[in-house]
Amino acid sequence: MCAEIEIERVKWLRPGDDAPMELTVHKVQGGIIQRMYLRNELVQDTFSSRPYQLGQACDGTIDDPVHGLFILYCRAMRLDAGKLYQAAYPDECGHYTLAYQEAVLLRARDQGIAEPAEWTDEAFNGLLESLGEINNHQLAQAVTAAHISLAETGIPNPPMRPIQDSATAIIGALLNISKIANDNRKGESDE
């Protein structure tokens, strides 16, 4: 058996009955082992292949790798991951700060993620599939709206602003496209 190297340990009290919970993640050859304990009794013991590949099926261990790749996509496209997350989930009170993103990205890289050399259509579609695998469908919609805006405007970083919900995110992205296109036309006619 290969050595296990602990890369994460989190303890908390389960809401409702305050039962002690613990989650550990160990790096092993070919992946990770995630274990969850309830009242010090093992209730989950999952091996998951790493490096995580875009589109890899959910096994209960892939949230950090998926969010790490979402953050990398946003940085590559010069999008604000926090604002996109807030647009998708406005009730979550802005926890997706830069410090939070850095912590997620560190955990994802510790586990192992296959980072695309470039964000091709195939990589982007893999990101959407991965977000769906962890039930972040509203985030996938917000990312899609931002991606469409980038593709249609050719602008590497369209202005992003907080939006109330995913339907409004799509409408906001489309309105943003019109504003940018009009601004570009004005700039061209002034020359």
In angstroms, the CA 36 to CA 44 distance is 5
Give the β-pairing of 41-49 and 31-38.
Answer: antiparallel
- Tell me: the pLDDT tens digits for 111-139? 999 999 988 889 999 999 999 999 999 99
pLDDT band at 148 (very low <50, low <70, confident <90, very high): confident
- DSSP label at residue 86: H
What is the pLDDT at residue 92?
A: 84
pLDDT > 90: what percent of the chain? Answer: 69
Rounded to 10 degrees, the C-alpha dihedral 59/105/122/75 comes to: 150
What is the pLDDT at residue 18?
A: 96
Assigned token pair, 129: 């599939």
